[in-house]
Amino acid sequence: MNATTIHGAWLTDPSAVTLIDTHHHLWDLKHIYYPWLTDKPMDHFFIDDISGLQRNYLPEDYRRDARNHNVLKTVHVEAECDRSRQIAETEWLTAVHERHGMPTAIVGHAWFDTEDAEEIISRQASFPLVRGIRSKPRTASEPGQNVAGQPGTMQDSRWLNGLSLLEKYKLTWDLRVPAWHLEEASGVAAMFPRINMALNHLGFPWDRSDAGMAAWRRGMQALAKHPNVYVKVSEFGLKGQPWNYESNWRVVRDALEIFGIDRCMFATNAPVSCLKISYDRLVRAVKRMVADYSEDDQAKFFWRNAEAFYRV
């Protein structure tokens, strides 16, 4: 594996899962300002009560949560800091890596539709650990609303020009949109076949009704037509609902069927996911969901695909 492990639980527990965590967060609230964690909660956040997140979350906290598993490497995804500090967040994470050996890779932030888009993207790309950019397009707050073509949307030419820069700087794009924008995202993936894209959090299948799942599957099928799109199997949190194995099993199995094992990557989204389920219970639940896959396919899902996608 040629990896320095973040935690080597396999030494004492043969049931420990070997994984690369392709999506987690760290923050020091005294060092960098995160408005959504302090004084300006995000509108339409997908989990009700975030009070459990309003504290520092540092490598020692991650290691404590992950202690029962063999975490080979981790990918830190930008955590919605004050956008004037987007480079500062990457600088801080680089220093954290030097002291603690994690994260292994960073997905930084840059807006695609600002005048300084290329300057920020190029600065992010100059950090050795940076592998990609997460930049959220403007989206509708609920199904049925139409924002197509407005500034910052996936039809905005200025936004699309900014996204195109990722090819120049050899960066991936972490795509985060709710389920009702997946078919639009498919059009973007078709426009940029040489930019590898990672769909965050299964495309947020928040509506678990039969109609909601059918709409989500249509979007996922549209995205899966493009070989440059991968999906992160992560973050099952639903507003006002507990973590439910059967419902989440249905989502995971559909995603695996639609994208195929070679384009699916496991992630925890710690510490956000820990509001609903512990790190250990999450990993073991997803392991159970894929238990009927071969050992080789499970290794692809839990770490090999991530190793290739994020070049870690």
- Give the angle subtended at the CA of 295 by the CAs of 289 and 298, to the nearest 5°: 45
Residues 226-274: tens digit of each pLDDT: 999 999 999 999 999 999 999 999 999 999 999 999 999 999 999 999 9
For 64-89, write each residue's pLDDT tens digit.
999 999 999 999 999 999 999 999 99
- d(CA 143, CA 198) in angstroms, rounded, equals 22
- Measured between its terminal Cα atoms, the distance across the chain in Å is 11
**DSSP 3-state assignment of 150?**
coil
pLDDT at 45 (0 to 100): 74
**Residue among 283, 270, 252, 245 at smallest CA distance from 15:** 283
Please give the average per-residue pLDDT across 215-230, as a whole number.
Answer: 98
* Whole-angstrom distance, CA of residue 50 vs CA of residue 36: 9
- Per-residue pLDDT of 49-69, as tens digits, reads 888 999 999 999 999 999 999
Going along the chain from its start, the domains and CATH numbers come out as 7-140+154-167+245-253+266-309 (3.20.20.140)
205 pLDDT above the threshold of 80: yes
Check whether 37 has a pLDDT greater than 70. Answer: yes
pLDDT band at 1 (very low <50, low <70, confident <90, very high): very low
Q: Among residues 152, 201, 240, which one has the least CA distance to residue 25?
A: 201
The phi and psi torsions of 182 (rounded to 5 degrees) equal -65, -40
Element (H, E) at 176: none
Q: With 50 as the cut, is the pLDDT of residue 90 above it?
A: yes
pTM: 0.94
pLDDT for residue 110: 98
Taking 70 as the threshold, does the pLDDT of residue 275 lie above it? Answer: yes
Query: At 100, phi and psi to the nearest 5?
Result: -120, -5
Instruction: Check: CB of residue 138 under 8 Å from CB of residue 147.
Output: yes
